[in-house]
Amino acid sequence: MNSDSYKDMLAKVQAFHDKHDFKNTGGEELTYRIALMAEELGEISSCVTKGKSKEELAEETADLFILLLGTAIAADFDLKQAFWDKMDKIMQRESKMIDGRIRVSEFRDV
């Protein structure tokens, strides 16, 4: 059984980085990681727009999540703390309906 703890997930991604020596082979270069995340978003989009299975969508979303954890490792920041800080911030925001869909943002008068 796999652990649901953030610490264990982060350690597993770190082990993957170590196994393939990402630090010394370009795998932790941030511009490269952004390109990989964009690729994964495209694959997620394809799952949705082409009606692929929820299992395929889950796999592609997991790929993006793994990349996000790896980016926190590569850029040396605490993603868990960033998550909680951001949640505190966005919970204070108002929402608006825009073109029939809810939007939660920092709305500014232009």
Give the domain ranges of the chain: 6-78
E strand or H helix at 70: helix 54-75
Q: What is the pTM of this model?
A: 0.88
Q: How confident is the model at residue 24 (pLDDT cuts 50, 70, 90)?
A: very high
Domain 6-78 classification at class level: mainly alpha
Q: How confident is the model at residue 1 (pLDDT cuts 50, 70, 90)?
A: low
> Cα–Cα–Cα angle for 44, 47, 52, nearest 5°?
155
Distance CA 59, CA 84 (A): 25
Distance CA 27, CA 30 (A): 8
Confidence (pLDDT) at 3: 79
- Helix (H/G/I), strand (E/B), else coil: 108: coil
Residue owning tokens 């008068």: 109
